[in-house]
Amino acid sequence: MAYGQLKAPTNIRIDFRPSPRQYELWKLLQPDYCPHCGGHIIQVQSGYDQQGNPKYVPQCENCGTQDLPQLILGGGAAGGGKSYLGSCWLVSSCIRFADIRAVVARKTLKSLKESTFNTIKKVCKEWGLVEGEHYKINNLEGTLTFWNGSVIIMKEMADNPSDPQFERFGSSEYTIAFVDEVSEISEKAIEVLFSRLRWRTAETFKTARMLMTTNPCINWVRSRFVQDDDGNPVKCRIGEAYLPFSVWDNPDRQFVQSYVAALNKISDPITKSRLLYGNWDFVDTNEAAAYWNFDGAKHLVTNLREKVYNPLKPIISSWDFNVQPYMSTLSIQIDYEHKKVYVLEEILGKPEEKENNTPKLSKKIANKYLTEKHLGGLFITGDPAGLSRSTQTEEGVNNYTIIMSNMDNPILRVQKKLLTKQPAQVTRLEYVNSLLNGYDGWELQIDMRCRRLTEDLVYQKKNADGTKSKAKVTDPKSGVKYEKYGHLSDCLDYVLCLFLNNTWAKFQKKGDASVIETTTTPIYGGFSF
């Protein structure tokens, strides 16, 4: 049936010849199709909810598997043909089924209209569809409507502080969704949109399907689909899948040749590795960040802890006592002879493990070092504000009192070393950035697995006055507001100011800041072996 003045085409020319990798992704997106055996999908009862209503899960009628990907990531190198495949999928689905609602989304409508939506229009033209005859576009509403009533709807997915739960989606219902450059979008936004995929799902796709595409990134997308916090491959959750792409997965050979030639001219090896080879072990330099001299290629080292950790030398355990998004600690060793600072690991007190409090986390760390037979002693340092009374602790007891009580034993030989006060932030940031650039002959190395610290160093912004921007976000589950970045980088700052005391004093004398005095050089001198 024709929709309005539109009419069905008489000769659609679908000339889409996917590469093997594109075809692998294409199969995961097909309606009523099991990618394991090609069987049909049915819904089977899996139990009851708290209200006594039956619950159902999709299952292959033929092989019985319930591992049917619904949330699918195509990620990797630029130019792999991911966005083009997603556009083909939306258009072909709308041609195949009448009256479905397909979402195409990016962070902003502006970027969507300038990129992905243009690719969708290109696909329509390539397949012989004519605007105004077979489909119509409403730029004001952000829709492309086909003759059969099916529609592609543009959606903006940017976080809005006034709408943290994405209530602007309201009770909208859609059939399928394609989210391009998903690394720019929050996990919460994706989950809310996915929950809205229910319009005519039962009679068409049988299960909700969302395709996401991105180049390598270091946020929640990597942690959920590609690599865990230790850099190991992620085993995707039931109903989710990840397919890696490289530029050579694009079937357009002419495009590949010219694009590879262009990428090979990139001088930065990290950028080239990410865009050309789809390398997820990377960190971009961010000149607008508070730590503008941080360089992943220079400062991040794979398996650093295994290479340099010495159980006979002291460990510095640096603390930040915020409980959201986690309580933060860094484990650091310093080689004073060769002027090297080694950030060995980050140990987090996570809310979901009920360890985001000083008593639990300090016991965990003590047990860890006792189990590992660390004999070199332990320094406790961190935020000087932890000396004050806190609502997190018992009356008259501060965070450091609790740490010392839980960790003090003859093997660990714990000592407390603290700055007398927090150093001025502007001077502190300038100092740390100078160290990152080799000031006074020092070199800073960070274990690649320190993922949250790395995010801090990349994404922590600075204000116009040179201080750290402490912008807050809202936890979607608890509704609690907290500072997303800055906790682990604070832990690092405290160590570099206190334990490189001579270098810190030297740097301060260059400016107007008052010198914070320390008592020993090097600080490590207090232990007897």
Q: Long-range contact list for 510-518, CB < 8 A, 24+ apart?
A: 511/427, 511/430, 513/423, 513/424, 513/427, 516/419, 516/420, 516/421, 516/423, 517/420
Spatial separation of the C-alpha atoms in residues 299 and 473, rounded to whole Å: 28
Same fold, 20-31+67-254 and 296-526: no
Burial of 216 (0-12, 13-18, 19+ CB in 10 A): buried
The mean pLDDT of 38-52, rounded to a whole number, is 89
Give the least confident one: 3-17, 256-270, 323-337.
256-270
pLDDT over 60 at 494, yes or no = yes
For residue 327 the two structure tokens come to 């309580």
pLDDT of res. 517: 37
**Strand positions, DSSP E, 36-150:** 41-48, 54-60, 71-76, 101-106, 135-138, 143-146
**pLDDT digit string, tens, across residues 146-173:** 999 999 999 999 888 777 778 777 778 9
- For 438-481, the DSSP string reads TGGG-EEEEETT-HHHHHHHHH-BB-TTSSBP--EEE-TTT--E
> Which pLDDT band, with edges at 50, 70 and 90, does 88 fall under?
very high
- For 245-287, the DSSP string reads E-GGG-S-HHHHHHHHHHHTT---HHHHHHHHH---S-----T
Spatial separation of the C-alpha atoms in residues 492 and 288, rounded to whole Å: 19
For the chain, the domains span 20-31+67-254, 296-526
For residue 109 the two structure tokens come to 């409508």
- CATH 3.90.1110.10, domain 20-31+67-254, yes or no: no
Give the least confident one: 180-189, 319-328, 479-488.
479-488
CB-CB contact of 148 with 1 (8 Å): yes
Of 340 and 264, the structure prediction assigns the larger pLDDT to: 340
pLDDT of res. 424: 86
Give the strands of the sheet with 135-138, arranged side by side: 135-138, 143-146, 151-156, 101-106, 176-179, 209-214, 71-76, 240-245
pLDDT of res. 519: 34
Q: Is the pTM of this model over 0.75?
A: no
Spatial separation of the C-alpha atoms in residues 270 and 279, rounded to whole Å: 9
The mean pLDDT of 357-377, rounded to a whole number, is 93
One of 2.60.260.40, 3.30.420.280, 3.10.450.50, 3.40.1410.10 is the CATH number of 296-526, namely 3.30.420.280
pLDDT of res. 274: 66
Task: Give the up-direction half-sphere exposure of residue 122: CA atoms within 13 A in the CB hemisphere.
Answer: 14
SS3 assignment, position 104 = strand
User: With pLDDT > 70 as the criterion, what percentage of the chain qualifies?
Assistant: 87
Distance from first CA to last CA of the chain, Å, rounded? 87
For residue 222 the two structure tokens come to 């990597």
The mean pLDDT of 485-508, rounded to a whole number, is 92
**pLDDT digit string, tens, across residues 99-147:** 999 999 999 989 999 889 999 999 999 999 999 999 999 988 899 999 9
